[in-house]
Structure 1
Amino acid sequence: MNTRVAFILSAFFLLLPFSGPSAAPVQAGAAQTPQKLAFHDDGQLFILEDDGTLWKTAGLPSEGARFVTAKPVRKNVKAVAAAGNLFIIDKDNILWGWGKRNRGTLFMNEYALQDIPENRPIRILTDVRTVVPDSFVVFALRNDNTLWAWGNAEDLRGDNLPGVLNRPRRLLDQVHTLINSGCHALALKKDGSLWTWGSNACGGLGDGTFLDRYRPAAIDPNHFGGKRIISLTAFKNENLVLTEDGTLWYWGKEMDMRGWCINLPVYEPRPLSKEGTGKNDLPSFTLPRGADISVLHYEDDTLYSLDTRHILYQSNPEPAEIARHVASFAVYNSRLALLKTDGSVWLEAAEDHLHPAAGRRFLPVVFLRANTTAREAPVPGSK
């Protein structure tokens, strides 16, 4: 994450309800769901089984590997998320965390003497539905749709307060989905309104300016033609939103020097051409025709989309099918992990195996259950 400079405007504030044009409400039943796969910053993949067992792999597969092994970590887990530290939600909806000191995300400071071990996680917050961390700030969405935040990056945290916040602070109400890009955040509310805050490098906040904003504010829904937002994703300073009419909207730009962005028309949401012809410095991503997309994920110039038929695609910029029968997926440094509808998990092989003729190659994850060795463990069928 880039160095952030916080402008201290107030010690306390009230979030006022958005009074602009009314947006289409979000459909019920499409709320952000508990996570089943999570990559840690060191490349370990954490996997959550339906019975609540949490597993982790030893790391990314080496060249020539035929499968990847995983060992159990904990039981009674409902969701998992990872970044610089590891977070789980248990069956009682309690959020726990463990990992490195000095991150600010586990309520420790630079003088902490030791890390939080895996076998003694700390209890953080109750009644949590999902958690969205990065290495500096963590967001937790509770079952009452309130959004809470803590950590050591004042601009991204959204409370406009200085220093490390070492306890969760309530930030927004009626939140449906939260995206944490590591530079800024987007919150989709149940009424359909979209709120942004954090770094505004290259117009990432979509408010028509390049000024950082340390408190959430709503984007004018007229930017999306009054259409309901179906899915959204962000990576660093870039954002992509899919609306109900099948239009992809884009704003922000991933550049190292803010001065280069001033003349680019990306500081407010702009529709991308459905024919895939980029114009005015907009990308030319297209989605598969006829697909009912439910999940978007954008990372390193590649747009991943999962449809309701459980088909996973990548667009760069044209769409191409990656795999079928995909229930969910995770991405780490452009490498994919897939959770299939049959419960099997697949991890993308080393880059040496990515020959254009063969496509992306995936290795099965073998779960090492009690009294079972890797040699004895059954390997799932081919992809």
Structure 2
Amino acid sequence: MSDGHAIFGPSPAGYSPNTGTPCRPLPCPGTTPGLVRPSGNRLPTTGKRPPFATGEEPFPFRFPHPAKKFLSPAEKRKRKRQNDVSLEKKKNRLPDPEPRDQRITAMRNRLPVLIAFIIVCIVVILAFLLRSATDHPPEKVENAQEITRDTRLAAGLKHSLFIDSEGRLWAWGDSRYRNRSSATPVKVADNACVAAAGDASRTSFYIDCNGTLYGWGDSQAGQIGLFSDTPVIEPMPIMSDIRAIAPGYDTPFAIDTSSTLWTWGKPNPSRGEEMPGEETGGNTDEPQKVMDLVKRVSSSATHTLALREDRSLWVWGKNDSGALATGSRIAQNRPYKANIAALESRPVVKLATKNLASFAVTDDGNLYVWGFANASLPGRRYTTLEPKTLPVRVGFVNNVADIVVGEAGALILKKDGSVWAYGIGPVTETVDGNWTKPVHLMDDVVEIATGPRHALALKKDGTVWSWGENDAGQLGDGTTCNRLTPVQVRFPSP
């Protein structure tokens, strides 16, 4: 059998008759391997594998695209996130900045609007602050400033007290301190702010600047916070958080820093006989609550006055003379609102009481009295005065800053610092049976105090002056001689 060349003729170039597969073309001498046209010209390399090519590559092939790489699901998600971030950046890309002149012009155009906005904000803030201040007024001074040094002098039955500018408490006369009398001042305590002395017994009180109430002296009725047949000769604490104390007639009254009124001691009519929730028919050494929201208090053996923070006056006790200002003479065992319409809603700055009589000073300097108001009719005897059941303004004196009353006389401190006295007894420099018109005693005074039969005055220069009876050395001048005119108290040298 003849071979394929015989049957089919010569085999085409690049084809094997035996295998039927492409064969390797032979390169031309001196040329680069590649495909050759029949004319002998070299075909350009296209990068595609020639059809039917087998065996060794006649030239290196280059593919225009790399082989496709299969990505894992995690890589796909990563690339998607990268593409999303790129798109987001393109979206958020700021436009090209405006030219400088245009920016300046725009800013100038916006400036009035910005200024107007700031002004409106300031106005709104100020209006809010003003409304808040109106809706929530600040607390009264008595609540914000718990302890004040407005009561530095005190005159008791046979003794006197004084707190100096350094907070030192001094006592002289028969105060029961260390169980001995002294005709010159003796230091009792430091850090004192308020002083008070009882005019029914030798009882003394002071409030330190931390609000603790201390007391010493006679305490048979429990007025020092305990029952004792012998005098308490050293100050002992009674209550805490106290800002005011009225010794009363062995029936003390204290106002705490929450404006609550407390009382203890003797069951005088001034204490009331049926206080809410308590039986007070006898002596007590435990403070009993009376009422809330109290600003000032004054008490005698017969009755008590309590000024509340709403400017109303509440009273209780005996009322034979009309000293309760209720318009009648009916006694009140519990706090009862008084009729003080005569004061014309003026704020009361001072209260004072004595048996069967009441006194009040308003902020405009007027003095009002009721009960056996012997202060309103000078020159008349005490027993011939008609009692008054409502407040009456005293017409012969004005510009009053304070009033204190003793057994049969009264002292008035005017706003100009002058001190005036009227009544009978050594305090008023007269001993006849008629009440005198006010007598001028001294000037440059900032505080006054009086016991039953002696008086004290603190002057602007810090000196203390005294006059009246002196049998126990209560004038502090180093003697036991009575004085009808003021003498200076002799404090020990520093």
TM over 0.5: yes
Measure how far apart 1:71 and its partner are.
Answer: 2.1
Residue among 402, 421, 443 paired with 1:295: 402
Deviations, residues 326-382 of structure 1 (Å, cap 9, x unaligned): 12111123422111111111121669xxxxxxx952221121246xxxxxxxxxxxx
Q: Say whether 1:163 aligns with 2:278.
A: no
Residues 1-383 of structure 1 mapped to structure 2, 5 A cutoff? 34-41=150-157, 43-58=158-173, 69-83=184-198, 84=201, 85-109=203-227, 112=228, 114-118=230-234, 121-153=235-267, 155-158=269-272, 160=275, 161=279, 162-244=281-363, 247-253=366-372, 264=386, 266-272=388-394, 274=395, 286-288=396-398, 291=399, 293-316=400-423, 317-348=436-467, 361-369=485-493
Q: Deviations over 1:131-154 (max 9, x none)?
A: 111342100112222211111215
CA 1:202–1:349: 2 relative to 1, 3 Å: closer
Q: Distance in 2 between matches of 1:98 and 1:179?
A: 20
Gaps of 5+ in 2: 1-138, 176-182, 375-382, 424-435, 471-482
SS in 2 for 1:310: coil
- Distance 1:130-1:245 versus aligned 2 partners, 3 A rule: closer
Ranked by relative contact order (alpha carbons within 8 Å, sequence separation 6 or more), the top structure is: 1
Separation (CA, whole Å) in 1 of partners of 2:153 and 2:320: 30
Counterpart of 2:441 in structure 1: which amino acid?
Answer: I
SS in structure 1 at match of 2:270: helix
* Partners of 1:349 and 1:363 within 8 A in 2: no
> Where does residue 75 of structure 2 map in the other structure?
none
- Residue aligned with 1:287, SS: coil
1:33 CA displacement: 5.6
Structure with larger Rg: 2
Q: Deviations over 1:92-141 (max 9, x none)?
A: 110011112312212334xx4543222xx332111111211134210011
* C-alpha distance in structure 2 between counterparts of 1:135 and 1:53, whole Å: 26
Conservation of the 8 A alpha-carbon contact between 2:467 and 2:486 = yes
Percent identity over paired residues:
25
TM norm structure 1: 0.70
| Aligned mates of 1:315, 1:220 — CA distance in 2 | 27
Count of aligned positions: 305
Query: Counterparts of 1:248 and 1:28 in 2: how far apart (Å)?
Result: 24
Given the two structures, how large is their TM-score scaled by the length of structure 2?
0.56
Shifted more, 329-338 versus 89-98: the winner is 329-338
Change (3 A) 1:71 1:154: closer
CA deviation after TM superposition for structure 1 residue 248, in Å: 3.6
Shift of residue 51 of structure 1? 0.8
Q: Tell me, what secondary structure is at the counterpart of 2:321? A: helix
Task: Note the alpha carbon deviations across 1:189-240, whole angstroms, 9 max, x for none.
Answer: 1211111111212222121232321211111343434443343322110112
Range moving further from structure 2, 192-201 or 208-217: 208-217
Between Structure 1 and Structure 2, which shows a larger proportion of strand residues? Answer: 1
Counterpart of 1:115 in structure 2: which amino acid?
A: P
Over the aligned positions, Cα root-mean-square deviation in angstroms equals 3.1
